[in-house]
């Protein structure tokens, strides 16, 4: 009986310590990597063009990390699928290499539009939204 009490006491201390440690690190969703599947889209009017693009993506969906910024030049229309960890900002900006008007969109799971914006001809466009925890 004494051995059983010792085992129960050890399990309670270890379990309680684990809960305190996890909560101090931001909770269980932080440790298990809760993340959002995000699609960034950029389109041009009236025609195709090249654009300088910058967007955020999380380096690892299974571990909580701040998103990094990726910068590239691509033809427009353009889209990319990324992962953004919960509670972080999903953002995309694009600057046309001509006088086209650009539109950006951020989609959840490639379907639900979270935000969109359109800029004037030759102007930079940007979209951003903070993901829920």
Q: pLDDT digits over 62-111, tens only?
A: 666 778 888 888 899 999 999 998 889 999 999 999 899 999 999 999 99
Q: Is the peptide bond before 77 cis (omega within 30 degrees of 0)?
A: yes
pLDDT of 32? 53
Beta bridge partners of 69: 56
Tokens of 107: 């989609």
pLDDT at 29 over 70: no
Q: What is the pLDDT of residues 31-70, one digit of tens each?
A: 456 889 999 999 998 878 899 999 999 887 666 677 888 8
> What secondary structure does DSSP assign to 75-131, as a single string?
EESEEEEEEEETTSEEEEEEEESSSPEEEEEEEETTTEEEEEEE--TT--EEEEEEP
pLDDT at 21 over 50: no
Are the beta carbons of 33 and 58 closer than 8 angstroms?
A: no
């Amino acid at each position: 009986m004494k051995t059983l009490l010792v085992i129960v006491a050890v399990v309670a201390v270890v379990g309680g310590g684990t809960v305190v440690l996890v909560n101090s690190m931001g909770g269980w969703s932080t440790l298990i990597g809760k993340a959002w599947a995000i699609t960034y889209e950029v389109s041009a009017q009236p025609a195709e063009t090249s654009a300088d693009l910058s967007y955020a993506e999380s380096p690892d969906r299974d571990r909580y990390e701040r998103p990094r910024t990726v910068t590239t030049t691509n033809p427009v229309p353009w889209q990319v699928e990324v992962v953004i960890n919960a509670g972080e900002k999903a953002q995309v900006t694009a600057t046309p290499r001509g006088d086209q008007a650009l539109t950006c969109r951020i989609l959840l799971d490639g379907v639900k539009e979270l935000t969109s914006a359109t800029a004037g001809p030759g102007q930079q466009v940007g979209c951003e939204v903070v993901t829920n925890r």
